[in-house]
Structure 1
């Protein structure tokens, strides 16, 4: 277990959080001293990941109000201390004193980062679907929705390298910056109508539960204060709009009943982002088979934004940079079902390369 744990933390430092100096330092520290994160062994197998330990540590610091010296390293708690040789002893002291609380969180919590930065790409995808299926309002189902913040995709404002889109500027409206790269233009023309929206999750987060929202905040990287401000604005919007979020123990089994519930004429869009890695191998196969069947039989549009090799993959897709998201669209047309890589993006939507020709 310790060797696997060390390798997982070392890989997380290089692939998942290279932009956060504190998290890089913490991951490399645990890679050298796996006993610091021994409590991960009590987590469900699909949750034994470095980001669960990182979130548990930050959540406990937030709960303590920054009273432990470790908080000095966390910009999210007002700290400005850079990782230094004293960090190792400070972490060891924190784990020794707070180990029981950390272990309890790792047994009972799951990483549910509700990253609205990905909505910058989702918004473009919905514009593209409206262009391809003209005259049809969209119905959005967010699988693994957490607190349902992706459901507000049409209420946020987007900055694509100076080209603004979606909601008008207003106090409390998150502005999500996403830098376009590559040669193809973004599909910014047109509009879409989101007639129905629903989020489903085995363990949805109650947006009105302050402790649950604190856990989501703890799942954010501590150095990215702009991301934290966007999150807080999105939470406030979600509390106002009350987008529907439903607990579903088996999200795959809920797919076809949701399609059945929709009125004629709408285009069902099933969306998942950085969720499928938490499925067991058998559950993932069943989920993919179910969705591809719904595309072929019911005309569902399936939009999957996952790490390379997870879930469904477009034929002939070039290799992605490790840690990137491949945005794959599976949809039915007159000539049959198409599976295509429509975009690549940073995992949190900071930049994207549009790959679907107009």
Structure 2
């Protein structure tokens, strides 16, 4: 896929119906030869639309007007490029807990959670949040995570978590204003509800910080998993992370996690983790596949806003 096609794909499959600002901006970049030439000089993982748009927003640049965005990026390219090369899309969307919850609640309790690509660890608190699946509410607390779910009966309650840890190449600290401002910049412009969710989830994490370890998902996973309490069910999980991992390392991770005790929950795009015999997704929008121990269970949207169960 060319860089131009990547931006058109983001506009059509991810931003359309969700962020008019990013849909319009992504289509503009897809046909802007000056910007495409600049992006072409970056490593492939650093060309992605959400990273570029978030960096410009974090630097104080405009994203609402494609012409102003064009001028800003060209004028400030050294600063934009420097941030693109050092930062990553560590979105840490707590809404994803809503698609993990049905699986987590069904596993043998209590749980020891280990998130790969944990960012600031906000998805390590599925037991502290509340959920609303249509008219059905689960749990208590803030934030309340809403998910349009079809094909499943929502769980009766939240899981019991006795240990939580995260592994990330660059862990973020919710008590650091700079790290929180980057998490805020990753939220799409119109999504005020996600900003409120970020603040509420950050307060939960700051009150009881998780164990976050800087490390590689292959080299450092076994040692961190070994720290989990033996009398809890170890659950290694990740959501929208492996697309940033080169395929050979991705394959090594899949082999490794399959050898660990406990369970493995993945929510990744179907071209990132491939499964045989998947049903068609419910719409043309980008969907992830939720899977337990390599067995696909549901289609999910990237921010946890919807899931279609088929497992």
TM range (shorter): over 0.9
Matched, 1:151 2:124: yes
Matched, 1:308 2:302: no
Superposition deviation, residue 317 in structure 1 = 2.1
Instruction: Give the direction of change, closer, same or farther, for the CA distance of 1:242–1:190 in structure 2 (3 Å limit).
Output: closer
Q: Secondary structure at the match of 2:226?
A: helix
Q: How many residues are aligned here?
A: 308
Match of 2:88 among 110, 116, 119: 110
> C-alpha deviations, 1:272-326, integer Å up to 9, x for none?
10001111111011111111222xxx3x20000001131253x422133451111
Equivalent pair of 2:24/2:66 in contact (CA under 8 Å): no
* 1:341 alignment partner in structure 2: 296
Match of 1:216 among 165, 171, 183: 183
Structure 1 residue ranges, 4+ long, deviating more than 3 angstroms after superposition:
37-45
- The gaps in structure 1 that reach 5 residues or longer are 62-67, 74-86, 331-338
> C-alpha deviations, 1:14-54, integer Å up to 9, x for none?
11211211101111111110422544345443232111111
State the alpha-carbon separation in 1 of the partners of residues 222 and 70 from structure 2: 49
State the alpha-carbon separation in 1 of the partners of residues 229 and 193 from structure 2: 39
Match of 1:98 among 56, 76, 79: 76
Equivalent pair of 1:39/1:106 in contact (CA under 8 Å): no
Instruction: Give the direction of change, closer, same or farther, for the CA distance of 1:209–1:34 in structure 2 (3 Å limit).
Output: farther
- The gaps in structure 2 that reach 5 residues or longer are none
Superposition deviation, residue 247 in structure 1 = 0.6
Pick the structure with greater CA Rg.
1
Question: Normalising by structure 2, what TM-score?
Answer: 0.92
* 1:329 alignment partner in structure 2: 292
Question: Normalising by structure 1, what TM-score?
Answer: 0.81
State the alpha-carbon separation in 2 of the partners of residues 191 and 24 from structure 1: 36
* 1:47 alignment partner in structure 2: 46
Matched, 1:177 2:146: yes
Superposition deviation, residue 100 in structure 1 = 2.5
Instruction: Give the direction of change, closer, same or farther, for the CA distance of 1:255–1:312 in structure 2 (3 Å limit).
Output: farther
